[in-house]
Structure 1
Amino acid sequence: MTKDTTAWFASWFDTPFYHILYKDRDYDEAQLFMDNLTNYLNLPEHGTILDLACGKGRHSVYLNSLGYDVTGADLSENSIAYAKQFENDSLHFEVHDMCKPFGKHFDAVFNLFTSFGYFEHEADNLKTIQAIQADLNATGFGVIDFMNSEYVMNHLVPVETKTVEGITFELKRYVEDGYIVKDIAFTYEDETYHYQERVRAFTLADFEALFEKAGVYLLDVFGDYKLRKFDAKTSERLIMIFK
């Protein structure tokens, strides 16, 4: 599967196995983050939010329940097809490539849960930040919630076996050419599958360089979902607010 000409995120994210492997993600933690983030940003009542790389829409649905007008966008057609069941007058989902401007202006654009740094071409990282900026209105905020690469590399679990819904996933993690890589192998119905996740090990300094090229102003940096101060050694997340 990794030899496919399709970018890994376009194929792996579109499989049911991706959602099985990560089914136990902490929804309470995600909702706490959305509460803290929207309070911090002081978004207008019924404000508009673009959830960029929304997956199956869990953040979008919760943000909508808080009263915001939310658009969820993702490259995965299967994820968007699933998310569309939750649509209403103030919640919409569309297939979209985040390297390109969405074509509307929002009070906030959120890129959550390390949904950045997948691209093979460096230029696409800059294009994504430029696209986020283009989608902000005059008072809007961009938010990128990324992993703290230094912390992740220092706490990498090289080999792990995880069984979910009767499928045993063999996971191998390593750093290669500036990317944090996860090899995922498993057997399902007598067929062997192999996928790979590759995410650029961006540091805060890397993002600052991209922001400068994009003409974006970095307002604040947090290190976890409680919005505590970022520390390169101890923080698990790298959450950046910009405009």
Structure 2
Amino acid sequence: MSYGKFASIYDSLMQDVPYEQYVEWVASRQTSGKLLDLACGTGTLSQLFAELGYEVTASDLSEDMLAMANQRFQEAGLRVPTYQLSMDNLEGLQGFDVVTIAIDSLNYLKTGEQVQQTFNEVHKALNDGGRLFFDVHSIHKVDEVYMDSPFVLDDEEVSFLWHTEPGAEEHSVVHDISFFVRQQEDLYQRFEETHEQRTFSASTYSTWLKAAGFVIESITADFSDAEPSAESERIFFCARKV
């Protein structure tokens, strides 16, 4: 998938994401150290961690996302090394105290084998006692909430029509999104994006984490300290390497 045009409007679409809460969640359990931000996107979370004092490394599969992240770091006066890597292949990256996979990025992996390989790769990249933090869509969100589409955003600068259908695999979805990006006062550019996501049960993620050599420290829901319920939409995991 090419993220060229999508990268250019990504920050506008994500402006309501509570990144500060994500940082607080991580910092409440791991206050400092070398941090690897996987699937970093345009680098918003990486910047926040760096400004808090973490020694941050950022990676993403998209060259376009990384270009925008590097521009962000440069403008902020931060030295954050970046790598173009898939989450399930972190060869050469080691010695981290923290790894983050934020904002349902793990759900873009298409198979359970890729998720398991990602956990194995993160385990190798972490120091003993290091922690992995990530969040995923719940099965409830994928199977029910997303089926309430289409979703519409009508904004002055960026608007979209978002239609979701069930994917070929269990608990998977295909998002077809039409964007309308303002170029001039009465002129908008339209482009199309297709995104595929898949999730698994919390117990399945837990089994894979334990098999990779982690102990699970917490499983919570929806940017809170509450345990997941049947109606939870986003599940958060904190796991420690042993």
What TM-score do the two structures reach when normalised by structure 2?
0.82
The amino acid that maps onto 1:141 is R
Instruction: Give unpaired runs (5+ residues) of structure 1.
Output: 1-7
The amino acid that maps onto 2:6 is F
Q: Which residue of 1 aligns with 2:36?
A: 50
Contact conserved, 1:141 with 1:241, CA < 8 A, in 2? yes
SS at match of 1:195: strand
Contact conserved, 1:53 with 1:115, CA < 8 A, in 2? yes
Q: Which residue of 2 aligns with 1:194?
A: 192
The amino acid that maps onto 2:149 is P
The reply on whether 1:174 has 2:171 as its aligned counterpart is: no
The amino acid that maps onto 2:230 is K
Instruction: Give unpaired runs (5+ residues) of structure 2.
Output: 182-186
Structure 2 distance, partners of 1:124, 1:100, is 10
What TM-score do the two structures reach when normalised by structure 1?
0.82
Task: Count residues with an aligned counterpart.
Answer: 228
1:71 corresponds, among 49, 57, 72, to 57
Moved more, 15-24 or 95-104: 15-24
**1:123-178 alpha-carbon deviations (Å, 9 max, x no partner):** 22211111111111012101111122324533233212324455542211232332
| Alpha-carbon distance, 1:208 to partner | 1.9
Structure 1 distance, partners of 2:123, 2:14, is 29
RMSD: 2.6
Structure 2 distance, partners of 1:208, 1:174, is 27
**1:58-81 alpha-carbon deviations (Å, 9 max, x no partner):** 000001111111111111111111
1:146 corresponds, among 121, 132, 136, to 136
Q: Which residue of 1 aligns with 2:105?
A: 115
| Alpha-carbon distance, 1:37 to partner | 2.1
Q: Which residue of 2 aligns with 1:4?
A: none
**1:152-207 alpha-carbon deviations (Å, 9 max, x no partner):** 53323321232445554221123233202211134678986432211112220221
Contact conserved, 1:223 with 1:237, CA < 8 A, in 2? yes
The reply on whether 1:92 has 2:95 as its aligned counterpart is: no
Structure 1 distance, partners of 2:49, 2:114, is 27
Structure 1 distance, partners of 2:8, 2:158, is 12
Q: Percent identity?
A: 22
Structure 1 distance, partners of 2:22, 2:213, is 27
